[in-house]
Amino acid sequence: MIYFLLRWLFLAIAIGITAWLMPGFQIQGDYWMSLFIISAVYGLVNAFIRPIVMLLTCPLVILTLGLFTLIINALMLSLTNWFLPNILTIDTFWTTLFAAIIISIISGLLNMFLHD
């Protein structure tokens, strides 16, 4: 259980750093509560919808040598934005793409400190 909570916290930290770095990535409302809501929804989207999308686009991922995964990450972040229009605002697709890359890098670096 603590592993799950730490991963949720690390994702919230990654989203917070991304909101601080990217000018078109904005969080409204109570900042910390919004971060945890966004990270929960983004985690659920990545847990349930992303595997289906990865399976359906597997030939395209193989054809592009994995680079299409960046687009899939951006689409999952865009879907999170669609689910939370009053909390999360992302301006353009390019902002979404770079924000997804930054979130992936930061959460990956933070998750390196966790052990199963």
Distance, CA of 72 to CA of 79 (rounded, Å) = 10
Distance, CA of 65 to CA of 99 (rounded, Å) = 21
Give the chain's mean pLDDT: 95
Q: What is the pLDDT of residue 78?
A: 97
| Residue 65 banded pLDDT, cuts 50, 70, 90 | very high
Q: What is the pLDDT of residue 113?
A: 87
> Do the beta carbons of residue 86 and residue 28 sit within 8 Å?
yes
Q: Residue 23: how many CB atoms within 10 A of its CB?
A: 9
- What are the pLDDT digits (tens) for 14-27? 999 999 999 999 99
Q: What is the pLDDT of residue 114?
A: 84
SS3 string of 57-110? Answer: CHHHHHHCCCCHHHHHHHHHHHHHHHHCCCCEEECCHHHHHHHHHHHHHHHHHH
Crossing angle of helices 68-83 and 31-48, rounded to 10°: 130
% residues pLDDT > 90 (the chain): 91
| Residue 116 banded pLDDT, cuts 50, 70, 90 | low
